[in-house]
Structure 1
């Protein structure tokens, strides 16, 4: 039995209903992150990058892109996928914690906070604040508010699937997810949830000046995104 979110993400998962869903998710996210890059020489960290299928799109508009994922399996796959792209490096979380101070211009952590405990999030916030250069930004996205449940997430997925042409696969995928370890883990371990005021307070306590962004990254606009500046 899978005992932690880290263990869950270190194997094949049922989160993406088919290849089109996965590709559309990662392509859209890469384009959104690329639009946030402040200048062509920027050093960017995508923390909790997942498979990052289109990270090369981000690398094209920044000086160096660092991809961090807690899963050794995913890091190996990322290293192989981008072995021919010298401006992309793959890091473990402990390597992020060891980055030089003021060495980053942008940190993006999308769909990460919900899988961290409050203490783990606080540690990440400290590491990101230390590693960001003056004027640098943290984008903390896909934060789940307390009142948002699985039904709302399913509705957002179906709307995304309808727009992007994989509705039938999404319906079948939701049925698979209902029977999967993800559903049982979500019930057993839970997801970390934060209301807007709580997250802003945590960001301020870590030394950031922060505000909620008008739009979340990705397809689920009932979740929240925050921009925090050093």
Structure 2
């Protein structure tokens, strides 16, 4: 039996975060469609950082010039490379490989459901890297930030509502029971989950050299969590601003 000691190890092994194939499909389609809506235009160079299985990344690639999918888990990257081998404008990269990318390589960087698994030091390091990689007029989307007052009950209610709306309610009920005894629950108890108020996270972004706005809705299914759009503080003025 594999002993899982960190979040990368968790995502690199089979897990039950998605209660069935329908849940995973709907989730990744919704995320892809949300990214498409946030694209600055059809020539956008996009980085999806911590992308997971990204089952519908081809939807983003069809609306952008290039898409780089990056995930820390080697098995996830292998799956991505095989799934999108026939899509010419999708590339797969490890977080380490991104360090070699030139400054200003991307017009949009998306980090969805990532920051809760990062230490503060790792978050600060990534924000510095993302700021370097974003073009002067580009944007960073940090989504699914968890406020301190959002806990297990909110997560459960949001999941069940999402499941009911998308046809996997029974599977979700079974999955909730299974998760209570899963490696995810154990690892979360051991390592914890990072949580930030809106003001705290705005302050973190400001210290990293970004101005930020809260998006009207979270990219993920839980409306109690927060998504931000951030731009470099030296970004050129935008039309109408």
Measured against the shorter chain, the TM-score band is over 0.9
Q: Does 1:135 align with 2:143?
A: no
Other-structure match for 1:76:
78
Match of 1:87 among 81, 89, 95: 89
Other-structure match for 1:106:
108
Count of aligned positions: 230
- 1:98 Cα shift? 2.2
Taking only aligned residues, the RMSD between alpha carbons, in angstroms, comes to 0.7
- 1:2 Cα shift? 1.3
Match of 2:32 among 8, 24, 30: 30
TM-score (norm. length: structure 2): 0.94
| Misfit runs of 4+, over 3 Å | none
Distance 1:165 1:104 in 2: 36
TM-score (norm. length: structure 1): 0.98
In structure 1, runs of 5+ residues without a counterpart are none
Q: Does 1:229 align with 2:218?
A: no
Match of 1:160 among 139, 152, 162: 162
Question: How does 1:145-184 map onto structure 2 within 5 Å?
Answer: 145-184=147-186
Distance 1:118 1:99 in 2: 23
In structure 2, runs of 5+ residues without a counterpart are 233-241
- 1:97 Cα shift? 2.4
Distance 1:202 1:208 in 2: 9
- 1:148 Cα shift? 1.0
Distance 2:37 2:216 in 1: 15
Distance 2:201 2:99 in 1: 21
